[in-house]
Amino acid sequence: MHALRFHECGKPAEVLRLEELPPPELLDGGVRLRILAAPVNPADLNFIEGTYGVKPELPAVPGIEGCGEVVESRSPDFQPGDRAILLRRAGTWADEVSLLAEHLFKLPEGIDPLQAAMLKVNPATAWRLLTGFGTPPPGSWILQNAANSAVGRCVIVLARTLGIRTMNLVRRAELRDELLALGADEVVTDDDSAVDSAKAALGKDRPSLAFNCVGGESALRLMNLLASGGIHVTYGAMSRRPLTVPNGQLIFKDLQFRGLWVTRWIESAPREELDAVYGKLAGLMGSGALSVPVAATYPLADFKAALEQAAGSARNGKILLVP
């Protein structure tokens, strides 16, 4: 088998190597999958750099999610030809992986493998953001920055299924029409005018829930727009700037600050809950109601080009490796 592997942490383009490795051992109750597609996520890059919440055991193969087809199974729950996504880190930047059947979610038929490869992280993060901190009632507002990100787009779609309205902050004004077409209720540019523009659109309403994926000044704008007692949830740090909370947001508005790492939820949630959530999300994905834009696909051998495009600021969609 072939896999992208690194022997030391550092810049991904500098430390990754395409290597030929022996096939992974297939244990009793295990399943061997041929990887069909695996996305390049920010968490993957942080993992390679050594800055992620989980430190690699070197040498390591990155890839926190992906879609594969069963080629061999020692589990009664899977047969050759079944397709599945991986619910545990298994190094999907490879052409083959093996893991226990309990760490897989079997996909219904008809889902595009490129979309399925992105099912584990971003749609589930969006669902947890909307339902894990007290689901707002239909007709109420939620607030988010980085609304054009994969998670942000999923939030827009899923919020609409719940009857929740979305106020969306984006860095580039030209994204407004695209997100409105997706189902966003309001879109404002994430700059010094954002708070006034959002307040004008909201009228007297104030969201009770905000999702922060940026940090810095953008996170502060969300605080300024939240209702008193509102919940500010951080699930990313795209700007790599810290979350700074003014005293007044705590004293006078009594805001609550929470964090979300979907990996922790996956590891701790009952299997019945995981099956219910991923079943719902897979159904929406299979119907075409939920999708994540794809910017480009690359074979493993072209990983440096994939990493370069993934780092581009103007990219509008995910980069996927297709072994």
Active site residues: 52
Residue 120 and residue 103 in contact, taking contact as beta carbons nearer than 8 Å? no
Q: Which residues contact 202 (CB under 8 A, 6 or more apart)?
A: 141, 167, 186, 225
CA terminus-to-terminus distance, the chain: 10
Distance CA 249, CA 262 (A): 26
Locate all alpha helices (DSSP H) within the chain, ordered by sequence: 12-15, 42-49, 113-116, 122-131, 150-161, 176-182, 194-202, 216-225, 247-251, 262-268, 271-287, 303-310
Q: Taking a C-beta distance cutoff of 8 angstroms, is the pair 170, 148 a contact?
A: yes
- Nearest CA to 164 out of 186, 139, 143 is that of 139
Helices 122-131/271-287 angle, 10° precision: 110
* Cα–Cα distance for residue pair 107/91, rounded to 1 Å: 19
Contact status, residue 292 vs residue 150, Cβ threshold 8 Å: yes
Burial of 94 (0-12, 13-18, 19+ CB in 10 A): buried
Phi then psi for residue 13, to 5 deg, are -65, -20
